[in-house]
Homo-oligomer: A and B are copies of this chain.
């Protein structure tokens, strides 16, 4: 249980104070936070709230979105990413999760878009290291490649991360996005010390109309969550394991109920 971390996005409409209190009451060590709600709460206040509850922050989600053909827009994103790094430092986490961004409007140039991600990382990585923050590149499921994230596999994330020191850039292993990959266990081994987060949910079909909200509760779907966790362990990862589920039904349910269910399913299917 000492590795468990509920990412607050799983209980999206539950106030930050409640999810912090529930995590502390359950004896957890970790909590996963999201930029928008802590900005709303006040980043300094959120840092104090979490520290006072005796919790550590497993990761801050989410920044990135580097891909644009407009230089001014790319620069604005870099500045927003610097703010995200500052927020991560303030909130006391060493892991900032980055989603690359999709293909620029009207473009089919995947290599070019991935180059923009590399350029963005290059601009941010030294600054992040100064602030004690590592950039965690997250591959999203290939169904999001065109409109959300041109990094679609763990191998692709590592191709980017390995262009930087492991002290600056690593990867997220999110089971939902990666489970289908025949190469994923080899890539987890390759990732080794670059694994900065293991995130769990489950793959359920049919997908909802908004495919971003298709994630299921652990145990409700097809993913070998324990096997993936063991592979991350074997690769040397011993950090927190985040439950991160975007699901309208769960969001509509009472926060404590979702909290309890996620913890039980974690014990049953992950650890």
Contacts and interface: CB of A to CB of B under 8 A. Distances in A.
B103 A183 contact: no
A114 interface: yes
Majority DSSP secondary structure for residues of A touching B: loop
Contact of A182 (B108, B141, B152): B152
A180 interface: yes
A249 B119 CA distance: 40
A181 interface: yes
Nearest to A152: B180
A108 B155 CA distance: 22
A191 to B, nearest CB: 15
Nearest to A177: B142
Number of copies: 2
B108 A223 contact: yes
Interface string A118-161: 00000000000000000000000111011100111101100100
Interface residues of A, number: 33
A143 B141 contact: yes
A180 B142 contact: yes
Given A182-B153, A182-B155, A203 B146 contact: yes
A267 B222 CA distance: 41
Contacts of A211: 206-207
